Amino acid sequence: MSFPPRDYPKSPLVAAAAVVVDGDRVLLVRRGREPARGRWSAPGGLVELGEGTAAAAEREAREETGLSVRATEVLAVVDRVARDGDGRVRSHYVIVDWLATPLGGALRAGDDAEAVAWLTLGEAAALPLTEGLMPVLEAALARARGGRG
């Protein structure tokens, strides 16, 4: 699959992420590529042409963690805009974060993930996370417990 350029794109790029919850833990990956290389995030990536955001979140989770998941509800839609020194938009991602449940598989870091782990919120808070991730994790755990998030 060929994607448009990520640096200085002509329009925003659409991405999807799976915020996978199992009990009191969330599934996170340490990013192996830019943007945010080395930071911990929910598994996710660009949506392929003709693919829905739920399917993209499920695919990305499988590729990055080895687990099959089911995306069940949209948690958040966020814009990530980065500008260069001249104020021009260097990157613009519209990310659809999906609450997801694990279905099976063997946990392993794959695709562009350097590491993968099940973490509690306290453990996640001690790590370098991608921008704005903690409120999404909190909302996912609250929703999974039957709360409003």
Residue 124 domain flag: yes
First to last CA, the chain: 35
Residue 5 has pLDDT above 80, yes or no: no
Residue 125 domain flag: yes
Q: What average pLDDT does this structure show over 14-26? A: 97
What is d(CA 18, CA 22) in angstroms, rounded to the nearest whole number? 12
Residue 147 domain flag: no
Residue 3 domain flag: no
What burial class does residue 88 get, using C-beta atoms within 10 Å of its C-beta: 0-12 exposed, 13-18 middle, 19+ buried? exposed
What is d(CA 10, CA 97) in angstroms, rounded to the nearest whole number? 23
Residue 84 domain flag: yes
What is d(CA 54, CA 75) in angstroms, rounded to the nearest whole number? 11
pLDDT for the residue numbered 36: 80
Q: What average pLDDT does this structure show over 95-105? A: 97
Do the Cβ atoms of 20 and 102 come closer than 8 Å? Answer: yes
Number of domains in the chain: 1
Range of the domain at 75: 13-142
Tell me, what CATH number does 64's domain have? 3.90.79.10
Read off the pLDDT band of 126 (50, 70, 90).
very high
Residue 148 domain flag: no
State pLDDT tens for residues 44-99: 999 999 999 999 999 999 999 999 999 999 999 999 898 999 999 998 999 999 99
Which residues are CB-contacts of 38 (< 8 A; sequence separation ≥ 6)?
30, 31, 114, 128
Residue 149 domain flag: no
Which residues are CB-contacts of 147 (< 8 A; sequence separation ≥ 6)?
none
pLDDT for the residue numbered 77: 96
Residue 69 domain flag: yes
Q: C-alpha angle with apex 67: 61 to 70, nearest 5 degrees?
A: 65
Mean per-residue pLDDT over the chain, rounded? 92
pLDDT for the residue numbered 35: 75
Which residues are CB-contacts of 74 (< 8 A; sequence separation ≥ 6)?
53, 96, 97, 98, 99
pLDDT for the residue numbered 3: 58
This prediction has a pTM of 0.90
